[in-house]
Amino acid sequence: MALSTVRHNHFLATHEPGLNRFNMVRAQHHHVLLDHPKTKTPNRATRLAESLSHVLHLHIDPTSHKNLDLLSVHEEKHSTPTMSPRENISQKWREIQGYHNWEDILDPLQPWLRREIVKYGEFAQATYDAFDYDSFSEYCGSCRYNQNKLFEKLGLTRNSYTVTRYIYAMSHIELPRWLERSHVADTWSKDSNWIGFVAVSDDDETRRIGRRDIVVAWRGTVAPCEWYEDFQRKLDPIGHGDAKVEHGFLSIYKSKSETTRYNKSSASDQVMKEVTKLVNFYKGKKGEEVSLTITGHSLGGALALINAYEVATTFLDLPVSVISFGAPRVGNIAFKDELHQMGVKLLRVVVKQDWVPKMPGLLFNEKLKMFDEITGLEWVYTHVGAELALDVHSSPYLKGGMNLSGFHSLETYLHLIDGYLSHETPFRSEARRDIALVNKSCDMLVDELRIPHCWYQLANKGLVCNAHGRWVKPKRDNDDIPSHASEVFNAGLGVVM
């Protein structure tokens, strides 16, 4: 047996006790196929049949997949939980936050770390799911729900965090579709967009994870392919040293205007004020251990890194970690070095087929850093932190071919994380995250599963039938209408924000 097989079987026995002997034999068979190139590798449909049979513990002949009613199998899976029980990880929280830069716990990926990565990914996904994309809505570009209802509406109350503040952003440069605009003349805001939120763990979750965790989640963009030309040309200084970051990212993070309703203060000012308040309350007043975890996908991952830089320069003794998904490069080599010196920990989750993490600087990037001292290329972009690389081809549930939006979709990322064991092993048969979520905003699932593509939307695309039988746009509940009041009562802390 190959050495990789022995390691894999030991890992399965140690970390996946739910796998039965049949699955272990299958894992060995998979490695035999890999170790002997002349052996024919099972095709995608065969792997799909095998994987479904393992999840349901069914005895299905994978060679008869053409006669397999995949829809019936998938529906039977509906009665299984979508997540594993959450154990107490209070003694592991520093490892989870990257205290040792996630060494030896990414490959193979530890189950308790996988669940925490998915948790933060769900916070980032919430910024998409609650965003009002309807260009015919007077509230286009806002969050559809009041902050006290956000997690309830999105089914995230199980994560046991409380949203304490919404973040709004604008930009002083023209960006195609980065910030959605309403076609309605009398709109809630002509300048600003809802860009994310700040949340904090409740008492039960704090005990489970070993510290009071403050989370900042940043929203990404709708169409990343549209900003390639706009976001690779110019780097602006940040801080007082040689560190520079991409001009467009910094503009969104720092822009403000007295003539606006929601961005009299910048996204930077809003988030720093809230983080300061929470740190002073939980760490200063209550004497608790406090951490800050910043997350985001795509543009949100870039904003998360700039946010982490600012926080680290303000709070010298606050553990700051970034968990980003599909994020582009943000700054130059000096920016990377300063983040490292300040102790910011960054875990970048990337999909190998996703182009966005390769930008900006698709041609000129960190591969040229060895020439930096000779050429003086202060504009050369470089990534920061540890990388968890995922592969679309590892999942038997995903289509092949070229699908740029599907490769970049955050739900594709979360599906692949849920099924990831190590770079040497097949897709995890015990993965529990609902497969249907992958197709929320793309067409990535194999047709055998019969999941419609881009299915996530409001019922009847937001129209309701009124008392007279007319289909109309409904009025929002008063508490879901964006408020620009200077003081918002925070029920969780009992203080005025």
Looking at 31, 54, 297, 408, which residue is catalytic?
408
Other CB atoms within 10 Å distance of the CB of residue 305: 29
User: Which one of 354, 395, 415, 441 is the catalytic residue?
Assistant: 354
Q: ∠ CA(364), CA(412), CA(389), 5° rounding?
A: 45
Preceding omega of 85 cis (within 30 degrees of 0): no
Question: Tokens representing 322?
Answer: 């970034």
Catalytic site includes residue 59: no
Instruction: Please give the pLDDT value at position 191.
Output: 81
Contact 479, 147 (CB under 8 A): no
pLDDT of 77: 63
- Which amino acid is residue 409, in one-letter code? S
Q: What is the pLDDT of residue 433?
A: 92
Provide the residue type at 83 as one letter: M
- Could you confirm whether 132 is annotated as catalytic? no
Beta bridge partners of 389: 350
Q: How far is 449 from 355, CA to CA, in rounded Å?
A: 27
pLDDT given at position 140: 87
Domain boundaries, the chain: 3-79, 93-390+458-496
For the chain, report the end-to-end CA distance as a whole number of angstroms.
62
pLDDT value at residue 154:
96
The β-bridge relationship of strands 290-297 and 320-325 is parallel
The beta strand positions in 148-220, using DSSP E, are: 161-169, 193-201, 212-218
Q: Which two tokens stand for residue 35?
A: 């170790």
Domain 93-390+458-496 has CATH 3.40.50.300: no
- Whose tokens are 């983080």? That residue is 275
Give pLDDT, residue 183: 65
Position 122 scores a pLDDT of: 98
Reported pTM: 0.81
DSSP assigned state of 403: -
Give the active site residue among 298, 321, 394, 429: 298
116-to-34, 87, 93, 217 alpha-carbon distances in Å: 31, 11, 10, 14
Q: Are 329 and 360 in contact (CB under 8 A)?
A: yes
SS3 label, residue 8: helix
Active site residue 394: no
Answer for the pair 484, 262: CB distance below 8 angstroms, yes or no.
yes
Please list the rounded mean pLDDT of every run of 10 residues in the chain (497 residues): 41 38 34 36 53 45 41 64 80 94 95 96 97 88 94 95 96 56 69 93 97 97 50 79 90 90 93 98 97 96 97 96 95 94 97 90 50 51 94 93 92 97 91 94 93 93 93 90 55 40
